[in-house]
Structure formats: structure tokens, C-alpha cells
Amino acid sequence: MQITSTTGPKIAPIIKSNSSFFSLCQIQSAIEQTNRETTKRSASSDHKKAIRKTQNITKIVSYKILISVFISYHNMKYSYCSGASYSATELPCPESLMIYTLSCNNLMMDKNNAVLVLEDGTVVRGRGFGAKTQAEGELVFNTSMGGYQEALTDPSYKYQILMMTYPLIGNYGVNDEDFESDRIQVEGFVVRELTEKPSHSKSKKTLDEFLKEYETPGIQGVDTRFLTRKIRIHGVMNGILKYPYEEEEIEDLKERARNLRDISDLDLVDLVSIKRPKRYDVNGKKTVVLVDCGVKLSIIKFLLDRKINVIRIPAKTSIDKILEYEPDGILISNGPGDPEKAEYVVETVKRLIFEEIPIFGICLGLQIIALASGAKTYKLKFGHRGSNHPVKDLETGRAHITSQNHGFAVDADSVPEEIEISHISLNDHSVEGIRYKELPIRAVQYHPEAHPGPWYNYYIFDEFADMMK
């Protein structure tokens, strides 16, 4: 970043402060503050005339696509939003001339070597990190400020390119504990700024190293606010993340992005489900059969913490095999994709309903129970993904802040009479909880285990345990 000046007040130290994000308005505000302070110090009429003259000088601002200057004070590296540029000329005081020229095109210190191409033709260039490879999938955003390790390893993100709306990602590194599966599940990762030197007592590796380990590409230095607004306005869309790339590939990548398969055409549950049964024995008095549609490990942990034995089974396990385990309860887990593509699980749950065994569903599990009961599901415009989603319990009237990760929901108008809606979203009033009026069957659309997210929804697991008494 080039800042040229003669003598007089220095704005550069203000720019290189502990604040990590400066817009054009903030820089102009700093200059105007200098003008006001100079005005107070000036006593002579000649100085005042000079000040009025300088204040009338035209500020030149030119826009291409975006106006955004992102200044990273970590190692004083500067990054820029691709395609953005502006210049500003100012005379801040009568004693001297200070000319500031800011051009986003001159802020680039590392060459853009990665690209994100969306199905509508949008091309976003940035700097690659992680594995040098290509990722394809549905671009979605998550509004959590932390928890990127849990999100990256959540099987519900299969066939999706995950973008974090919080601008600084990777600052506490990656540890050995916060895994929600045995590997990274997302196809690609999009962030505003990557921390190259994380700081945390539990950190074992950087986010860059983590993505390389699991052959996952990432891109940083892009305008995630622009992409988030695009998704909120137009809905989620398929895309391709390529690192590295060549400019002559762009048109081909656009065509390929347009022709990617829709997530509703894919059976993703079978891809992430366990392949053979696995027992978790804590010498408890109760045993739950967990139908693994892409379960987060935290869900299993919370059952074990309550001294409940868990038998984790593949999603395609037959009802006869399930009943052989003589379970005290059945849990239908979270998972990726369209619930209608997991028709084999839906058919199993249809038959399990008549066994009158306590059944609990989480996220995709709610949608599967609803489909098995005769309800319908639909795809949300941009989904619910984050750890700050408000949900209302219709029985108590209480509002809960919840962790969520789903792109489909249950059609409230299609819910049969034997089921009541127990929770709704306070953002869009979509269904967030259901329960049978006469049978021990209930489900929530949000994630009571959180990870990441607020902890006070753990009571849901206690209620499930009480259902099995």
C-alpha cells in the first residue's frame, strides 16, 4: 500500500492501528478530524481562508465493482477485493500538502492464484490455501464466529463449499478434540482472511495444514459479504473452487459449474453413513440404536455422558436387524442433502413408528420422521447455518438460541393431525420441532448438542433419556 505525503499530520499511523478493517469513509473521517483540529489551532484569517479552500477541493472516488479496502495488521500484509479500486485526494491542513492515493489494485502482495466460479457466471478470485486441487458443490454460508473445525468435519456439509461470514478464520488453529467425524467433510472452504500464525494452547496445526492433510482446497481474500448477499438474494447455487487456476480456464469452469448436479439429485446419506455397526458401551442400563445418516460425534458423546449405551448402525440397516438389538430407544441422526433421497431410511422409520419404541430425531432426522408420517419437505432458499438462530418453544413460550445446519425443512401445512409442531424458527417461522400426540416420538430441527453453539439446549438429551424410562 503506497501512502505519500509531505510534512504535516500523518494519517498512516492511524491506518496502521489495531483496527483490522478500514473503509473509505473511515479514512475520510480521519482526515476530516485532522481538518477540525487544525481549524481550532488556526487563528489567522489567512489560515482560515486556506482551510476553506482546501475543504472545497473535489474528492475523487472511482468505483469498479466493490469499494472495500481490507487492511490486515498481522505482519502488515494487505489484501484486496478482486475488481475493486478507488483513489482519494485530500489536502488535510493549510501548512502542508498531503496526498493519499489508495488503490486496491496496488494492495496485492501475493498473486491471486485461486478462483471460485458460480453457476450464474460469477467469478471471484483470491489466494489459495490448503490442498492444490478442485472442489465442486453447493456454496453455502455459516454465520458462526467460531467453530470452524467442527463445521469442517460435520458430515451434513457433504457436497457443499462452506463459506464463513465472520472475516477472520483460523486464529486458534486446529486441535485434536473438536472433530465431528474422522475427517474434513466439506468440499471446499471460503474465508475473508486466513490466520497464518494461530495462537491457542490446544492448537496442533494451522488451518492451512489441516486442509492440506485432507486434500481440501480453500480460498481467502475474497469479499464474503458480497457472496453472502448474493446467496441471500438469489439462493444457494453450485460452484467450483479451483486452486491453482489459469485465466484461460475460466470459461470452461463457468460451463462446468452450470452443469453440476443439484444436491437434490444425490443420495449423500449413504456416502457418509458408517459401513458396519459399532458399539459404544458405558455399562448403562439403557441402549439406543443410532441410525447413522451422517451423525456428529458430539451427539454420541452426549448420550454416553448420560450412561446410555449406543449401537451405531448404517443408514440402510433393515428394521428386523434393528429390532434384534432390543433397543430402549432409537435416534435418527443428522445428515446431508435432501431427505427424500434417503427413502430407505424413511421406509424403515415408517415401520418403526408402529413398534412404539421411543424415537428421537435431530435435523435430517426430523425431516425423515416427518416424511415417514406423511408430511412433505421443501428446500430453503439459503438454509439455516450458524450458532445464533432463535427458536421458540410453543409449549413454554421460551425462546432458545440454537445451532443449526440444514438446507431443507418440513412443510408446516402438510403435518398430519397426529403430530403437533412443538418449535418454530423466529427468523422465518419454519418448523423447528415436532412430536406425536400419543406416541413417544419427537424431533428437533436444530442441533441440541451445538458444537459449535450455545450449551443450554443440552436438556433435550435429558428429555430423550426420560422417554426411555
Give the Cα separation of 363 and 450 in Å (integer).
12
Contact yes or no for 292/312 (Cβ under 8 A): yes
- If residue 366 lies in a helix (H) or strand (E), which one and from where to where? helix 364-372
Q: CA–CA separation, 139 vs 34, rounded Å?
A: 44
440 Cβ contact list (under 8 Å, min separation 6): 356, 357, 358, 359, 467
Comparing C-alpha atoms, which of 17, 14, 127 is closest to residue 81? 127
What residues contact residue 395 under an 8 Å CB cut-off, 6+ apart?
422
Q: Which of 363, 384, 389, 451 is catalytic?
A: 363
Q: For cell 443450554, what's the residue?
A: 456
Asked, as a colleague might, if the bond just before 390 is cis with ω within 30 of 0, I would say no
CA atoms of 343 and 350, how far apart (whole Å)? 10
* Grid cell in block for residue 211: 486442509
Q: Is 145 exposed, middle or buried (0-12, 13-18, 19+ CB in 10 A)?
A: middle
Q: Choose, from 150, 293, 449, 451, the residue flagged as catalytic.
A: 449
Q: Which residues contact 58 (CB under 8 A, 6 or more apart)?
A: none
Sign for the pseudo-dihedral over CA of 405, 408, 411, 416: negative
d(CA 281, CA 359): 20
Contact between 397 and 367 under an 8 Å Cβ cutoff? The reply is: no
C-alpha cell at 148: 470452524
CA-based torsion, 152, 157, 160, 165: positive or negative: negative
Q: Is 449 a catalytic residue?
A: yes
Q: So which residues are the catalytic ones? A: 363, 447, 449
